[in-house]
């Protein structure tokens, strides 16, 4: 038996030796055919892991021996010469590549000749996309490039989702550009200026400055520009005019000079947008109400004193107004299975004028000391006028109440804040960090309220005719000290102390306009004081492919609230604790997995504790519960990402589970006259929880010209609430409702952008929405949802382009709403490129050409369901002209 085992092992060893093969060839200078002695020959597997390596001899010849069959990437490199890459399929015979001729970089003027580029690489927990591997048309913008990247979606209004998560930050070469609105960058930075796009989860600003991980992760995109694009001028100008007296004008201009960046943006329109997307064919562009928007922004960045001082500052101005009409239809299912149906109409007018200034100074004092200062200021004026009316009846149509209200209000607000951070690097891997910050805010308001509420059952009327004067003022001071120590090459330990004090006053005086008497029921004089002191600890371990972070924050909090109008005097002292654990493992250069856990306490607010709060109208009253206890929230998240360089495929799987023990739930009492009283209570022995799972897979088709994306998403939510109806059979009893909601969606998309024949971006999705309540089971329903969209651009002769965007969505009927909602529109645009460089575009656009868009919206939660209809304009026509200007001044050595 022992000999038999040895014979089998010997057989497999001999088979393996004979199944291995070799590669030979010769590396030459393409210019003169001279051998490139000592050129590096590298063979990578499909995970970009180095498997075989050798150098060329004096004749330029090389030989790689004993290669296991499989798919490989061959790299040939030589100093100051172009990189040669090719895909090799090893079977069971030797391969002779003969002569490999590569160019000297001095003979390559503006482009590097590469036979194969690596579109995606994984660097730690950062996914890096090579922009040159994803084609876009001439004069395309960054958002067009992002739509081509696997795992990315960009909505018509510029919201970015990457790997199933919303992107909150967009950096240009690691710095914010128009930081108050990241959409400005993706809408205006040219796609041909981009070298790399990096996607990663950034720690919170507080964690980065203090060195103490708080567990917060921000989905972030960093755009690395080409060297030639870091010096130049670029921008665009656009003018639109159309039917219904519509118009829009947009301007963006930027000048980059290495470290200096200057940008301005301006727009004015009556189409309801303040982000320069008026007339975008990718949106349905429904115009809500009668809007008028004016916006201006400026951004400045530079480095001074030999790059020791970095300055980033921007200013924004917005003047927005609108007039609109709306109708709402609400159904509230009561515990006795009856229904309250409320129909409401409103006419409103609003306007806001705001200014904002943001600045960031980063100063490196020497090689060991660094100061970071952020300072922001905002001020705004607001006006609002609202005329509303609502009618409530039971399920049989019997009238219960009627409410009419006219409200006119003006307000102004001001705020400023700063944050100063000092960091000192000590010896032996140690560092010291000090932070001081302050945030001050103030607002004044005046509201004139005139309302009449009629209750049909007892034939009574409640009238309010008041002027309410409000004044709010607050100041938050915070500071922290942190010490970090690198114990060895793998372990780092950080300890810190933090102090925070906040004081705010919130005053509202309601004066009856008839009697000139003070009304305490609608008034408040609240003073809020909070003091927090905390100790932080952070532990990190990093070794090769594995990284783990552990942080814990323990606080002692003192909180006080006083309201002299209602004799409220609350105070409390308690301990609070937050725990975060994060682990990342790089399985290979193309596969990565990450796990995280967070535990936080949900502390009831004073608004939830305060026994009696000022009313807003006779139909609603908020009552607090001073006996509320804290709840504990647990969150578990996991992410897996993998890609194949040879196949060009990418897969991302991320999941999340969050549950709250001893949750604070809402208690709603519906009175017989339809008025509601809301309060809160801890629910023992139950948990509110939700979970989600997202799967995204991308693969190239048609020789990598087409991206085929597939996705699956499932979300589940389980929550509780108490409800009671004073007029029902269960009078005087609260019933516990368990609301469950599950949404499952499947989707896919195909997109191509090569500027030949036609480009397209096609997508579809379908799914189900399951809503379940424990106390009104006859209204539980499963509805189908789905949709499809197609964006197609035809490239016609004589520099004409035809664009069309077709959209359709379906929302199925439910037990309460018997009719489905079908939304459909078609937008068409005809373009003509003019000028030699095709930088100017003339356009004719038609929106919702069949006038088929359905403006009905539907939503629901727990036992409340609603449909709404707004005043919108969907069908209109526009003519426009747009000029893209661009002049790169940097060296083209990318």
The DSSP symbol for 798 reads G
Write down the pLDDT at residue 109.
40
Q: Which residue in 563, 660, 553, 658 sits closest to 609, CA to CA?
A: 563
| Alpha-carbon gap, residue 720 to 665, rounded angstroms | 6
Write down the pLDDT at residue 280.
73
Tokens representing 214?
A: 């708080």
Alpha-carbon torsion (200, 201, 205, 209), positive or negative: negative
Q: Are the beta carbons of 158 and 141 closer than 8 angstroms?
A: no
Q: Are the beta carbons of 848 and 874 closer than 8 angstroms?
A: yes
Q: How many residues does the chain have?
A: 894
Alpha carbon of residue 359 to chain centroid: 23
| Alpha-carbon gap, residue 395 to 392, rounded angstroms | 10
Which positions of the chain have pLDDT values less than 50? 1-5, 7-19, 108-116, 891, 893-894
Q: Are the beta carbons of 451 and 466 closer than 8 angstroms?
A: no
Q: Which residue in 72, 71, 100, 95 sits closest to 84, CA to CA?
A: 100
Three-state secondary structure along 453-486? Answer: EEECCCCEEEEEEEEEEEEEEEEEEEEEEEEEEE
Q: Are the beta carbons of 197 and 332 closer than 8 angstroms?
A: no
The residues, ordered by sequence, that sit 6+ positions from 341 with a Cβ below 8 Å of its Cβ are: 329, 330, 331, 332, 392, 393, 394, 395
Q: How many other CB atoms are there within 10 angstroms of residue 10's CB atom?
A: 10
Across the beta sheet with 160-162, what order do the strands follow? 152-154, 160-162, 165-166
Tokens representing 627?
A: 């006996």
HSE-CB at 33 with a 13 A cutoff on CA atoms is 2
SS3 of 516, please? Answer: coil
pTM of the prediction?
0.77
Write down the pLDDT at residue 110.
36
Write down the pLDDT at residue 499.
96
| Alpha-carbon gap, residue 502 to 559, rounded angstroms | 10
| Alpha-carbon gap, residue 344 to 342, rounded angstroms | 6
pLDDT tens digit string along 114-150? 344 567 777 767 888 888 888 787 778 888 888 878 7
Write down the pLDDT at residue 617.
82
Q: Which residue in 313, 278, 275 sits closest to 178, CA to CA?
A: 313
SS3 of 113, please? Answer: coil
Q: How many other CB atoms are there within 10 angstroms of residue 190's CB atom?
A: 25
């Amino acid at each position: 038996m022992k000999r038999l085992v040895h014979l089998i092992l010997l057989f497999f060893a001999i088979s393996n030796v004979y199944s291995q093969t070799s590669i030979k060839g010769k590396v030459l200078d393409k210019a003169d055919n001279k051998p490139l002695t000592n050129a590096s020959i590298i063979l990578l597997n499909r995970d970009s892991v180095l498997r075989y390596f050798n150098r060329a001899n004096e004749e330029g010849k090389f030989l790689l021996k004993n290669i296991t069959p499989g798919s490989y990437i061959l790299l040939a490199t030589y100093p100051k010469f172009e990189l040669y890459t090719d895909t090799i399929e090893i079977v069971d015979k030797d391969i002779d590549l003969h002569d490999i001729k590569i160019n000297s970089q001095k003979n390559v003027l503006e482009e590097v000749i590469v036979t194969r580029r690596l579109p995606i690489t994984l660097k730690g927990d950062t996914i890096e996309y090579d922009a040159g591997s994803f084609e876009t048309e001439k004069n395309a913008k960054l958002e067009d490039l992002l739509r081509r990247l696997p795992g990315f979606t960009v909505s018509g209004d510029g919201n970015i989702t990457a790997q199933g998560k919303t992107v909150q930050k967009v950096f240009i070469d690691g710095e914010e550009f128009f930081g108050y609105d990241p959409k400005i960058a993706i809408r205006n930075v040219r796609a041909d200026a981009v070298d790399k796009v990096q996607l990663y989860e950034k720690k919170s600003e507080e964690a980065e400055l203090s060195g103490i991980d708080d567990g917060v992760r921000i989905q972030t995109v960093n755009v690395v520009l080409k060297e030639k694009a870091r010096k130049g001028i670029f921008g665009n100008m656009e003018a639109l005019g159309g039917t219904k007296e519509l118009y829009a004008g947009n301007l963006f201009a930027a000048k980059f000079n290495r470290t200096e960046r200057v940008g301005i943006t301006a727009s004015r329109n009556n189409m309801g947008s303040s982000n320069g997307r008026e007339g975008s064919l990718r949106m349905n562009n429904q115009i809500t109400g009668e809007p008028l928007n004016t916006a201006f922004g400026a951004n400045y960045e530079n480095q001074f004193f030999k790059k020791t001082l970095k300055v980033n500052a921007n200013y924004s101005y917005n003047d927005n107004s609108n007039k609109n009409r709306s109708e709402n239809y609400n159904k509230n299912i009561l515990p006795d299975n009856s229904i309250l149906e409320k129909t409401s109409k409103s006419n409103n007018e609003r306007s806001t004028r705001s200014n904002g200034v943001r600045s960031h100074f980063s100063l490196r004092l020497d090689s060991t000391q660094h100061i970071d200062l952020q300072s922001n200021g905002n001020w705004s004026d607001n006006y609002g006028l609202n005329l509303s009316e609502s009618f409530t009846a039971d399920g049989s149509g019997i009238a219960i109440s009627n409410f009419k209200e006219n409200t006119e209000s003006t307000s102004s607000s001001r705020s400023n804040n700063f944050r100063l951070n000092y960091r000192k690097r000590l010896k032996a891997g140690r560092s010291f960090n000090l932070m001081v910050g302050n945030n001050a805010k103030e607002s004044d308001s005046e509201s004139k309220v005139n309302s009449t509420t009629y209750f049909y059952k007892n034939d009574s009327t409640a009238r309010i005719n008041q002027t309410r004067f409000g004044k709010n003022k607050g100041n938050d001071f915070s500071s922290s000290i942190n010490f970090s120590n690198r114990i060895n090459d793998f372990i780092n330990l950080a300890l810190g102390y933090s102090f925070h004090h906040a004081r705010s006053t919130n005053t509202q005086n309601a004066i009856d306009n008839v009697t000139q008497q003070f009304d305490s029921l609608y008034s408040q004089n609240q003073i809020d004081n909070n003091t927090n002191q905390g100790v932080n600890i952070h532990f990190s371990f990093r070794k090769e492919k594995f990284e783990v972070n552990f942080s814990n924050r323990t606080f002692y909090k003192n909180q006080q609230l006083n309201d002299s109008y209602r004799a409220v005097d609350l105070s409390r002292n308690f301990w609070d604790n937050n725990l975060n654990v994060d682990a990342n493992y790089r399985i290979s250069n193309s596969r990565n997995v990450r796990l995280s856990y967070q535990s936080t306490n949900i502390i009831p607010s004073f608004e939830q504790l305060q026994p009696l709060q000022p009313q807003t109208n006779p139909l609603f009253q908020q009552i607090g519960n001073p006996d509320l206890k804290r709840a504990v929230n647990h969150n578990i998240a996991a992410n897996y990402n993998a890609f194949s360089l040879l196949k060009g495929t990418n897969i991302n799987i991320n999941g999340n589970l969050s549950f709250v023990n001893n949750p604070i739930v809402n208690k709603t009492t519906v009175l017989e006259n339809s008025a509601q009283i809301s309060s809160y209570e801890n629910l023992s022995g139950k948990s509110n929880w939700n979970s989600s799972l997202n799967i995204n897979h991308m693969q190239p088709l048609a020789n990598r010209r087409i991206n085929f994306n597939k996705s699956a998403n499932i979300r589940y939510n389980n929550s509780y609430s108490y409800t009671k109806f004073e007029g029902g059979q269960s009078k005087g009893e609260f019933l516990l409702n368990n609301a469950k909601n599950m949404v499952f969606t499947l989707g896919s998309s195909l997109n191509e952008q090569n500027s030949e024949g036609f480009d397209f971006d096609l997508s579809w999705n379908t799914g189900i929405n399951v809503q379940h309540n424990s106390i009104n089971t006859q209204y539980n329903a499963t509805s189908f949802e789905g949709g499809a969209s197609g964006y197609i651009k035809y490239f016609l002769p004589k520099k004409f382009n035809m664009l069309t965007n077709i959209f359709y969505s379906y929302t199925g009927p439910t037990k309460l709403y018997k009719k489905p909602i079908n939304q459909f529109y078609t937008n068409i645009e005809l373009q003509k490129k003019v000028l030699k460089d095709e930088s100017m575009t003339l356009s004719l656009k038609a929106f919702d050409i069949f006038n088929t868009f359905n403006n009905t919206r539907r939503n629901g939660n727990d036992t409340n369901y609603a449909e709404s209809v707004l005043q919108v304009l969907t069908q209109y026509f526009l003519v426009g002209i747009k000029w893209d200007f661009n002049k790169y001044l940097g060296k083209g050595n990318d």
